[in-house]
Amino acid sequence: MRFTFISSAVALVASTLLLNGAEAQQLCNGYADLCAKTYDQVAYATTHNAFAYTPPGALAANQDNDIPTQLKDGIRAFMLDAYTSPSGATNDIELCHSYCSLLDAGPLSTVLGQFKTFMDQNPNEVITIFWENAGNLTPALFQTVYQAAGMTPYLYTQATGNTTWPTLASMIASKKRLLNFVDGGADASVPWLMEEYNFIFETPWQITKGSEYPCTIDRPKDQERGMYVMNHFISGQVTLGNQTIDVPQSSIAAQTNTADLASHANKCTQTFNKIPNFVAVDFYEQGSLLQTVAQLNGVTWNGKVATPAAGTKSSAAAGTIVGASSVVASLAAAAAVFAL
């Protein structure tokens, strides 16, 4: 009798463990169903100019939240612009928008530290960085900065020409779950800094308000690749002399990132016969980026809501006016530098 009691207690404990085991099923980028998919079969919520966050409302800012908040919210691919350090540091890269005098988001070493903290604490997340190599920096410099930040163990390399990607689960198991693509200047000496257009094409990025959202192959021109970036953000433009700068459109982002986003994604999915892998937006917390990406991935959205913008709308609006004059000042400063 006692024995029976004990064995049934053991059975109960065992079944509880099993139940917990089922509940503790591995998630990959937040969803169990993504684990068995290969890297190129998955859609990733992507922030255009992810670093271009400034205290609310600056004219050239593309995002309202900083990178640690974006990571926490479920953004998994980040577009960054690389410039020479204005401080003259030869072992760092600066994250700037158009000019460092216009928007300087600080050194890459700081931002890589933020990525590392997140990746250390979240071992089931596969992260992608897209580099716009605006400063024509060498792969060796990227290598120096990544190495110093302790990122080396996380770096994934796919051989050029290999169109067979591993599953998210296997990237997670190998711990190599940070992918870096660059739009120019890649070379074989730093293989983890992969030439983007060998693997990925992009739809056009210059979209103005009221124009149709395009599903054409912009970069590399008319050359299809295994994966693609669907650029989905609207720019206004400010011109000073012969300089034109793109101004992100915060005031209409909620609409841009909702029905417009879903219909653009559906249209591109039909056009290319595959889902967009990188769904790139400005002001990601407005609208329904995360829901749209879940839908593309065929999973039920986990209900996680993105963090609201750090600033209030009214201060953002006021900031825009301040920003407008500072842009003019910055451009004048930049023009003065060019004149030298």
Ligand X SMILES: *[C@@H]1O[C@H](CO)[C@@H](O)[C@H](O)[C@H]1NC(C)=O
Q: Which residues contribute to the site for ligand X (CB under 6 A)?
A: 159, 162, 164-166, 241-242
Instruction: Give the residue from 280, 276, 254 showing the smallest Cα distance to 266.
Output: 276
For the chain, the straight-line distance linking the first and the last C-alpha, in angstroms and rounded, comes to 95
CB 174 within 8 A of CB 39: no
CA atoms of 281 and 230, how far apart (whole Å): 9
Closer to ligand X by Cβ: residue 22 or 159: 159
Partnered with residue 53 across adjacent β-strands are 63
Minimum CB–partner distance for residue 339 and ligand X (Å): 7
- Smallest gap, in angstroms, from Cβ of residue 262 to ligand X? 31
Least Å distance, CB 127 to ligand X, is 17
How near is the Cβ of 59 to ligand X at its closest, in Å?
A: 21
Residue closer to ligand X, measured from CB, 210 or 241: 241
| Shorter beta-carbon distance to ligand X: residue 105 or 334 | 334
User: How many Cβ atoms are within 10 Å of 103's Cβ, its own excluded?
Assistant: 26
Q: Report whether 280 contacts 257 (CB < 8 A).
A: no
- Residue 262 CA to residue 301 CA, distance in Å, equals 14
Minimum distance, C-beta of residue 37 to ligand X, in the bound complex (Å) = 13
Q: Pick from 169, 149, 142: which is nearest to 37 by CA?
A: 169
241 by Cβ neighbours in 10 Å (0-12 / 13-18 / 19+) ranks as exposed
Q: Which lies closer to ligand X via its Cβ, residue 26 or residue 162?
A: 162
- If the CB atoms of residues 242 and 314 are measured against ligand X, the closer one turns out to be 242
Instruction: Tell me the closest approach of the beta carbon of residue 243 to ligand X, in angstroms.
Output: 7
Of residues 49 and 158, the one with the C-beta less far from ligand X: 158
Q: 75 vs 227, which CB is nearer to ligand X?
A: 227
The pair of structure tokens assigned to 204 is: 């056009």
Find tokens 């209409």 and name the residue: 252
Report the C-alpha gap between 179 and 156 in whole angstroms. 5
Q: Which ranges constitute the DSSP H helices of the chain?
A: 2-23, 67-73, 108-121, 139-148, 168-174, 196-199, 253-256, 259-272, 289-296, 313-339
Q: How far is the CB of 241 from ligand X (least distance, A)?
A: 6
Q: Which is nearer to ligand X, 162 or 325 (CB)?
A: 162
Instruction: Give the nearest distance from C-beta 251 to ligand X in angstroms.
Output: 30
